Structure formats: C-alpha cells, structure tokens
C-alpha cells in the first residue's frame, strides 16, 4: 500500500499545497448505490435507494445556488418527481439558499424507486438527458462524494480525503454506515475493479484541475504499480 498521504504543490494557486489520501485513492472503493448501499439513515434501508441523499445537500456558494435553481427550473416534470413542490416552495431549505430542501425525508431532487421517470437524483438524470456531465449540474458536494476537500483557515493547505462520521456532525454517529470511513472499512463498498484514482478520474480532474490530477495519479501509480487495494484498518 502507498504512504497514506502524498503532498503536492498546487500548480494553480501559488503557496497552496494539497495533502491527498493516496491510501484511499489507491483503494477499490466504489459507490454501490442500488447495489448494496444501505444509506445514511439511522437504520439500514437499502430498499429506499436513497444512498447519501437522505439529508439534502449543502450548497457551496450563491453562484452554485443560482445554477442549481436555474437547472431545477429547466427539468422536465417527467424526470423530476418533486417538480410541483419545487415550483411552489423552491428547491432550497432556507432563504439563504445554503441547503437543498428536504421532502419526505430525502433531498427534493431525489426521485423514489416507484417514480416512472427514474430513481435517483433528478439533476443527475437531467444532465444525462442533456448529454452533459452530472458534475456540471449537481451541487459540488454531491459529485465530489466520497471525497472531502478540507481547507485550512489560511487556505495554504487542502487535505483531500474520504468522508468520516465526524464530518456529518452529531448525526453522523448514528448513521447506518459511512461507506468510505477508513476507520471502519466496510467490505460492501470496497468491491471496485479499479482504483478510485481511475474510477473517479473525471471528478478528480474537475476538483483538482487536470495538471494536479495528473501529478496525483502519477504519484499513486508510482507507489502502487497500479495495483488496487483496500485501505488498512
Ligand atoms: S457514496 Fe456511499 S452512501 Fe453514497 S450512494 Fe454511494 S455507496 Fe451509498
């Protein structure tokens, strides 16, 4: 296995460094939504297929809020189960537009399994319908999962690592699972056939920028010879 963290300079922001969890990026974690994911409610609820959409999404900033609002308004009602609620009440939980609204215990954008327009994130489905990337439609916190970029206050160091229970706040301790938490590796999500650095190549390139992503990938390949493994417990 690689050293857990590799540190690299940010080619786009002078003075900033990234500390990347190479152990996780070399692992065979994969999102098992609809294929064994038990969700993040207090009790396992695989049949609900909510994945990590049970609590709504935190919106990055007002630019992202404007984008989400515009895309939501463009969604075909046949693909967006909560279209009527969105039209009446809006897609945000609060006037500050910092979180997506929660409807019947899931994000307003979550289509239920029985919905004819397709289960899962309506924004994700809308992006695919438009032949665009879901990364351009969804709140960044959603497409960046399972990764969390933690910025120091001074902004000189960013740690990129998987989500942990603590990241979810007080509610995290009761969640049915944290599929990525290296302190409780759950075999059900470590079943991918390629390393995360490959399976999430597009998302990582969007998050890090292509040049830094290339450097991260080279560093991990060098440490692992391209082999795939689970993080050490
Ligand atoms: S990231 Fe984890 S919790 Fe979220 S849908 Fe995928 S497997 Fe489930």
Element (H, E) at 8: strand 5-9
pLDDT of residue 153: 86
CA distance 231 to 233: 6
Give the residue-averaged pLDDT of 179-198: 85
- pLDDT exceeds 50 at position 232: no
Give the Cα-Cα-Cα angle 192, 197, 202 (nearest 5 degrees). 100
208 three-state secondary structure: helix
pLDDT of residue 233: 44
Residue 134: CB atoms within 10 Å: 17
Read off the pTM: 0.91
Quick one: tokens of 79? 């693909």
Q: Which residues line ligand 1 (CB under 6 A)?
A: 31-33, 37, 40, 51-52, 145-146, 179, 189
pLDDT band at residue 102 under the 50/70/90 scheme: very high
- pLDDT exceeds 70 at position 231: no
Give the residue-averaged pLDDT of 188-211: 95
Select from 180, 189, 200 the residue to mutate for testing ligand 1; criterion: most ligand atoms less than 8 Å from CB: 189
- pLDDT exceeds 80 at position 183: no
Give the mean pLDDT of the chain.
Answer: 93
| pLDDT tens figures, 7-19 | 999 999 999 999 9
- Compute, in angstroms, the gap from residue 182 CA to the centroid of ligand 1: 14
- Asked if residue 220 lies in contact with residue 26, where contact means CB atoms within 8 angstroms, the answer is yes
Among the listed residues 135, 146, 143, the one whose alpha carbon sits nearest the alpha carbon of residue 21 = 146
Which residue's entry shows tokens 């969804």? 138
- Compute, in angstroms, the gap from residue 39 CA to the centroid of ligand 1: 7
């Amino acid at each position: 296995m690689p050293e857990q963290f590799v540190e690299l300079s940010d080619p786009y922001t002078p003075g900033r460094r990234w500390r990347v969890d190479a152990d996780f990026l070399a692992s065979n974690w994969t999102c098992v939504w609809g294929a064994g994911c038990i969700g993040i409610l207090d009790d396992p609820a695989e049949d609900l297929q909510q994945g990590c959409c049970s609590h709504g999404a935190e919106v990055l900033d007002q630019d992202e809020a404007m984008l989400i609002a515009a895309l939501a308004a463009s969604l075909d009602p046949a693909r967006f189960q909560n279209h009527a609620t969105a039209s009446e009440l809006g897609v945000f939980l609060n006037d500050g537009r910092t979180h997506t609204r929660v409807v019947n215990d899931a994000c307003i954008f979550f289509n239920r399994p029985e919905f004819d327009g397709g289960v899962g994130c309506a924004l994700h489905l809308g992006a695919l319908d438009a032949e665009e990337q879901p990364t351009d439609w969804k709140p960044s916190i959603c497409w960046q999962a399972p990764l969390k970029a933690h910025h120091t206050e001074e902004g000189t160091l960013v740690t990129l690592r998987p989500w942990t229970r603590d990241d979810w706040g007080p509610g995290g301790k009761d969640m049915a699972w944290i599929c990525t938490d290296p302190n409780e590796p759950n075999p059900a999500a470590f079943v991918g056939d390629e390393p995360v650095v490959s399976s999430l190549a597009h998302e990582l390139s969007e998050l890090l920028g292509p040049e830094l992503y290339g450097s991260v990938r080279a560093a991990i390949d060098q440490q692992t010879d391209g082999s795939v493994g689970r993080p050490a417990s």
